[in-house]
Structures are given as C-alpha cells and as structure tokens.
Structure 1
C-alpha cells in the first residue's frame, strides 16, 4: 500500500510529550559502521522479539531491508510470548546469559526492572544515537547510560472505535466518561458488542488500557502525581482519580457492556470484531492500527481513535507511549555486528523499511524520518492530540515503578472477581514489591 523510500510530508508538529518534544526534523542517516570496530566477514545474528503480528512484520521488514544491503549478514528472528510471561522470559534469559545478540523490549519502567546497567550494552557513545530524539532517550536511560534504539512509532492509549457503527447510531466521539457509557449503552441496545475485552490466551495484557490509558486524566486532576507515587507519598487506592481506571473496568462488567466471550477472546479476535463492526469500541494502543491494515485492509478506513475520556469535557487529552526498543545484552559475541544493525534501525532508511512493512501509526523517534500523506483515520485522530498539545506520557515513562501483576489484577476486576477499589489496593501491594526490589527511597 505504501511506496518505497517515502518522502511525502512530515506528520507535522507533534506537541509536547512532557519529557521533551518529538523532533522529526533534519538528520543525516544511513546505517554504517559504528564507533566500535566494524564487523567483517559472514555474521549470523539472532533477535528475540514478541509474537504480535505487528512486531514480527516490523522486524521482518527491517531484517529484509538490511540483509539486502548487507548480504554477508544473516538474521534470525526468535519469538517469545507477550505480557507478563514474555517479561519473565526476558528476565530469565538475561540472568542466565542465554539472551541472543539483540532483543526487542519495552522502554520505560519495565526496562528499569532489567537492571540495564548490569545487563545491557550502553549505547550512549555511539554516533548513531545522535539521531534518536531526547524524548525517547529519556525512556531508555538508566544512570549515565542509554540502552535502546526505538522501533516503531509514538503511540496513544485510548479507544479504537468503528466509525460505521457510530455513524449508523448517530453517536459522537465522547468527551466525558459519562458520554462514553451512554454511547456504549446505545450500542448494546443495537445488538452490537459495545466494549471489546480480550482476556484470552496470551492476551491478558490488553486488560490494562482503562487503567494505564487514563493517566492524562490523573495528571489533570492531580498535577505531579507521578512524583508523589514514586516517592511512596500517593497510591492508587487513596487517590480517587488514580482509582478511576479500575472503577471503569468494574463498571463495564457490571453494566454488561463487554462482549460475552471476553474470557476467551484474543487480541487478534478483538481486532477482527472491531474492524468488521461486530464490536464497536476496543481500549487499545494505536500500534494495533498496523495489524488492522495488514489483516483487514478493506476496513482500515472504518476505524477511528479517541482518548479515554475523563470527567472534564473542557480538558480532553491523550496518554502517550514511547515505542519499544532493540537492546544488546552484555557479553554477546557479535556486539559490533549488532551495533551496525542498530545504526541502520536508527536511520531514515530504517524508518522507510518499517513504513513499507506495516504502515505508520504515529511519529517516529528518529530525526529525519518522513511520513506518508495518506495516514489512516485512526492515526489522523492520534495526530490531532499531538497537534493540540493535549498529551501526557503514561505513568511508566514518568516513574520506574510498575508492578508485574497489573494485567492479572485488571483481568480480575474486568471479570467481576474484584471491585475497582480492591483492584487498586492489590496493585498498590504489587507496586510495593517492585519498588523495594528497585531499592527506591521511601519504600
């Protein structure tokens, strides 16, 4: 769908993401030799990645483009599970020295849990890191080191919705949570699943969006809450605005607004429901647009996006996510070759390879990367929040603290096993263990 070497137009101003602006202008590019001695001769690299179709397709596009220009390099992709199971795989393989040459993983708080200063190669001295925006570097920094190269686009957390369903029922994009519930009840009355939930195999991570995607509204109600949270001075269970995400999960279940098969529905099933209109709204990150484009191209124009609405219709904004990154574990035998691959990823040519493979779901974090003019409707909706400056980073990019059991807790609340208040309290306990493991002051 997208042409090679796209240089159509830039995505425009991307707004303030609080850590720093997303700089998209000017860059020399290209993957060449790194500051270390270049690899020579045939090289075989292995990269550990998660199993989502978007990740697999993105990495395959990068690998194909790189090996076409570097035929002496062979790159194998190795899959791991998603969610907390995948987190455990990454931690275990790092601890046992069994990690391959590179691996794909989150930026932000989940990275901090890997003890990057002890386990990962510091890239801060590499010239190719000059092209990575300061916004992204902040999310992959620990101590004095910078450890990751971004893959993919800036993302928004909110609700993907079926525009045809909205048009057929005469609904407008909600600006308050009450509006969202009202829309959902109207959709239910029409015989369509109002809010898609997907707690099936390998998909429990999707249950977190009502909590994590609501942070713009938490910050609007309690400015600076992330700092108090990190210092153990504020908690989900004693902050009404922070508990609301859990309460929203409870409300959706109690009002029967979820698809009846939410316990077995997978992430892939949910995207099919959304794209085909058997389900109307799916709380999700915008990276899912690339999978809709790949699997349901005829329905791509039917999917829009809006931020999770709060209580104040005059202040509607979006919670933003940094993309995932590629990292090099310490002690690898092919470090020089791995860095050369990262130099390619951190270049306009690398961005073009990704755009060719999966399309675009938001701005890149690499200077000089241009984007196509024919952006999908959901990405245009995302961009409007950036353009208006109505964005704020997700909590995991403002605080190193993120409990490992959140997805199990949100599944329990969304399934009616626990109340929202109970879920918030359980998560505070989960966070306590993580903060103590990190050795944070005040915990």
Structure 2
C-alpha cells in the first residue's frame, strides 16, 4: 500500500507538469497569433511602429459631433482602426451623429451657446463657426506637425484659419457642383451629354417623351435646391470680376437684386419644374430619395455636388459606376462651384495637450490615405491618391481646366441669406424671382447693421 501511494503521488505530479507545459505552449501560441493579427492591422495604420508595444496609462475617450450625412465610409474605416488600436494610440473616439441642414445647425448653436462642447466637431469652416456658433473663442489653435501634409494656402484660408492661426483640418474631399446623370438611362434613350442650356432642355424633352423622368428635385431638403444658384453667381463674374463682386456686395455698393444673370439662372432652374421635367410631388422629395432615384435609373439627372457620390457608393455600390457628370451647362459648357473640404476642429472644452494626439493622428498621411482608400474623392493631403468614381473623375476635368470658382457663401462677409428657403417658396409659387433677391438684400443688410458695419446705415 505504501508503494502504491508513492506511485500514485509520482504519477499525479507528472500529470500536473505535463498539463502546465501544454498550457504554457497554448498561451505562447495564442500570444503569437494575437501579435500577428495586431501587426497586420498596424500595417494599414498611422500608428507608429515604435509605439506598438507601449501600454499607455489609460485610454482617453474624446467626443466628436458631426452631421449624419458626413459620416461616410472614410470615417467608418478610421473609427474602426482607432478602435482596433486604441491601446497603442491612447485614445478612442465617441462619435455623435446629428441631423444635418438647419436642424443640425440649430442643435450645434444651442449646445455651443450653453457651453455643452464636444471635444471635437466637424463643420463647414472656421468662418462659419465665427458667424454661426458664437465666435473664435469656441475653438482652439491646432497647429502641429500635421500641417506639413497640406497646402499652406489652403490651411491659411478662412475655411481653416483665423488670421495666422490654424484652427481647422481638411477632413473630407473637396466638392465640385454639377449635373449627375445615369449613363444607362442616357444610353437607353439615345441622348448625349449636353454642352449648353438649350441642349439640356432638348435632352430633358427626349427623356420625357421616352416615358422617363428627366430630373429629381429634393424639395423638402431645401439646401439641395441651391445647386443652380451656386452656378448663377459664377455667371456674374463675366460682368463683374469675382473679387470685385464680393467686395461690393460686402460693402453695400452692389446688391443681390441687381444681379441679372443670377436671377436668370433661377428662372431657368424653375423652367425645369414648369415644363414637367421633375418627379411628381417634388416639394416632398428628399436628398436620400434623390440618391436612390438616380442610382436605380428612376430619374436621368440631378443637380448636386460630388459628395452625392460618397452616398451612392455607400448605399448602392453596384450602381455607382453607372453615374457620370458634367457641369451645369450655362455659358462655355459651364463652370463649377468648389466647396473646400469640411473642417475638423477642437473646441474650447477639450484638453489641448491630450487632444493634439487625435489631431496628429487624423492629419497624418497614413490616416488621410485610409480615408481616401475607403472614400474615393478629391482629397487635399499631399501624396494621397484615390481611385475616383467615374462621375467624380468627370467633374475633375473642370478642375483641371481651371473652370472652378470658390463657393459664393464662403466669400460673404456675413452669413448668407437663407436662399434655400426663398428658392423653395419660389418653386412652390409663393414668390417671384425678384422677391428672392429683395429679401436677400434686406436680410444681409440686417446682419451687417447688427454687426455695426458703417456701410449700412
């Protein structure tokens, strides 16, 4: 019995040792597999290799506020990478998405007025923050190493700077306004891309006669009704040089009601409605339905910015290559308004030292390339390449030929009058075209007077 007891003890100890070796071996294997997986993620990351084994004291979570429609595939990919590498980066992002247009603007105004700041937010421009959200004190200087990756003239513009202080980072592709069309519908009807307004109307008539809808107008989302207005301002530069035009508008020497080519652009715009070239009940149309209608070929054309292709590519990837584009064909085959990329900014409520880690990460070439890989477009970071969708490549031709101008709204000294509301009312028959611009003169003058501008008395 004594011998059997010793034998049993020995066998038990041997078994324990064997199990320990197996467990250690399995743990080492899992660790190796985990390291391989992490390394693979970081090869596509802007996380520095010398940081990959570092373990920060804590992972800080930063809040970000943006409009829902601005959260696209690029942001999805970047947010996923941050989540996967949070331990190495030392931070996470908690992104809150809110409705866009006037509703979203009002939410931002209310929160900023109450001092309820997110750490970061994405907005039209630094200029718009000053005009709409309470002024320069709401945001911080974010100058850093990342600025070397962008053109200094771009960063020095009112989109991203106050005087010589950089407060915003370009965080989306530049946008060009044009006419987006379903190539399959054009081919089926047998029409070519028009190069003048008269040709555009002829194309619309042929499409209508073929039993199809030429245009979709998103009448409910009023901001989307201003695309032709954008190009109408450009038409005026043939009469008054661009810089001079805005200097005069901003000093009460020229008025919106005096811009005849601009008025004519909206008369032409409304003629598309009057001739029955838009979908039924267009005043209830939405931006979302506009994308679907064009992608599915339910309509032939829309007036939009290249940002619409981000949405179509996200929701209807199989149809995205069916879409082409051309400038709204006024004089000389038309020109295009260019919107600078949206600005990513740090609020006064964010700890700057900690927040700059987020800024440097987002502004790095690797992260900007990750944005571009997942959201093709006209990205502005140096060295970043992008496989453009056909429609965006079509519009880029106007950019390459120098046929683009900065969006009119970013050249005003004061916030733009609510042209979108005026245009919706005009399209619905509630006012005449002249009344749009008379109202705009009054509204712009009120804002100037409230600001103490001596040019308005």
* TM-score normalized by the length of structure 2: 0.81
Match 1:258 to one of 257, 278, 281 = 278
User: Paired residue for 2:235?
Assistant: 217
Is residue 157–residue 209 contact of structure 1 (8 Å, CA) maintained in 2? yes
Deviation at 1:207, TM superposition (A): 1.3
The structure whose RCO (Cα within 8 Å, separation 6+) is larger is: 1
Q: Evaluate the alpha carbon distance shift between residue 367 and residue 179 of structure 1 in structure 2; reply closer, same or farther with a 3 A threshold.
A: same
Is residue 119–residue 349 contact of structure 2 (8 Å, CA) maintained in 1? no
In the TM superposition, what are the counterparts of 1:214-363 in structure 2 within 5 Å? 214-224=232-242, 225-310=245-330, 312-313=331-332, 316-332=334-350, 334-357=351-374, 359-362=375-378
Match 1:371 to one of 386, 389, 398 = 386
User: Paired residue for 2:79?
Assistant: 63
CA radius of gyration, larger in: 2
Query: 1:286-317: CA deviations, max 9, x gaps?
Result: 0110111111122112111111222x23x632
Deviation at 1:441, TM superposition (A): 5.1
Is residue 214–residue 319 contact of structure 1 (8 Å, CA) maintained in 2? no
In the TM superposition, what are the counterparts of 1:27-66 in structure 2 within 5 Å? 41-52=58-69, 54-66=70-82
Q: Evaluate the alpha carbon distance shift between residue 376 and residue 187 of structure 1 in structure 2; reply closer, same or farther with a 3 A threshold.
A: same
Q: Distance in 2 between matches of 1:440 and 1:308?
A: 36
Question: What are the ranges of 5 or more consecutive residues in structure 2 without an aligned counterpart?
Answer: 1-40, 49-55
Is residue 218–residue 290 contact of structure 2 (8 Å, CA) maintained in 1? yes
Deviation at 1:87, TM superposition (A): 1.5
Query: 1:201-230: CA deviations, max 9, x gaps?
Result: xx2221111112433323234313222222
Q: Distance in 1 between matches of 2:43 and 2:424?
A: 41
Match 1:80 to one of 98, 103, 118 = 98
Q: Distance in 2 between matches of 1:116 and 1:40?
A: 35
Q: Distance in 2 between matches of 1:210 and 1:299?
A: 25
The 3-state SS of whatever aligns with 1:214 is helix
Is residue 157–residue 284 contact of structure 1 (8 Å, CA) maintained in 2? yes
- RMSD between superposed Cα atoms in Å: 2.6
Deviation at 1:117, TM superposition (A): 1.9
Query: 1:90-136: CA deviations, max 9, x gaps?
Result: 2222221112111111026533413542211122x423223232224
The 3-state SS of whatever aligns with 2:334 is coil
Deviation at 1:30, TM superposition (A): 5.0
Deviation at 1:50, TM superposition (A): 0.4
Q: Evaluate the alpha carbon distance shift between residue 5 and residue 286 of structure 1 in structure 2; reply closer, same or farther with a 3 A threshold.
A: farther
The 3-state SS of whatever aligns with 2:177 is strand
User: Paired residue for 2:154?
Assistant: 135
Query: 1:356-405: CA deviations, max 9, x gaps?
Result: 43x2122x122221223xx2110110111121111111112323333352
Question: What are the ranges of 5 or more consecutive residues in structure 1 without an aligned counterpart?
Answer: 8-28, 33-38
Q: Evaluate the alpha carbon distance shift between residue 168 and residue 403 of structure 1 in structure 2; reply closer, same or farther with a 3 A threshold.
A: same
User: Paired residue for 2:139?
Assistant: 120
Is residue 64–residue 119 contact of structure 2 (8 Å, CA) maintained in 1? yes
- Where does structure 1 differ by over 6 angstroms across 4 or more consecutive aligned residues? 4-7
Structure 1 or 2: more helix by fraction: 2
